[in-house]
Amino acid sequence: MSKRILFCAAILAAGLAASPAPSIAAPITEVVEAGIEGCGQTPDDFGPQFWHDVDKACTNKTSCKVRLTDSYPLATLQQYECKSFFVNFICTGATKEVSGPDLTSEVTLQCN
């Protein structure tokens, strides 16, 4: 290998080592645990958009509103006759239960 190729390879390697790692979208950290109470279901059943909305509404706040709409699998909840679900936030470390007659309205999640 010529000295010129080695020199270019050394510059390229140094540049890669010095450049910051590409930013990777961090997973949601504000919502620690979530589920549907008494339904034998998992947080994933709500789908990622729901938890994205919760995260966006609730990050670094003591109170937030989350609107439950048809974009979430409410039919699944109603099929199991679920009347409540719970969300656990880092800000409290405690479970906050949200309940309603049909879980199709806007709800407020409180953090102490």
Q: Considering the domain boundaries, does residue 9 fall inside one? A: no
Give the model's pLDDT for residue 40. Answer: 43
Residue 1 placed within a domain: no
Q: Looking at the domain assignment, is residue 25 inside a domain?
A: no
pLDDT given at position 49: 61
18 falls within a domain: no
What pLDDT is attached to residue 36?
42
Q: What is the mean pLDDT of residues 87-96?
A: 44
Q: Is 15 within a domain?
A: no
CB 61, CB 111: distance < 8 Å: yes
Pair of tokens at residue 14: 């140094």
Query: Which domain range does residue 65 map to?
Result: 31-110
pLDDT tens-place string over residues 19-75: 444 444 433 333 333 444 444 445 555 555 655 666 665 656 555 555 554 444 444
Would you call 97 helix, strand, or coil by DSSP?
Answer: strand
Q: Is residue 63 one of the residues assigned to a domain?
A: yes
Q: To which H or E segment does residue 33 belong?
A: strand 31-35
Task: List alpha helices for the chain, DSSP H.
Answer: 3-18, 48-58, 74-79
Distance linking the first and last C-alpha atoms of the chain: 66
Residue 21 DSSP class: P
Alpha-carbon distance of 10 to 1, in angstroms, equals: 13
**Helix-strand-coil split of the chain, %, nearest 5:** 35, 25, 45
Domain count, the chain: 1
Q: What is the pLDDT of residue 50?
A: 59
43 within a domain of the structure (yes/no): yes
Rounded CA-CA distance 38/52 in Å is 23
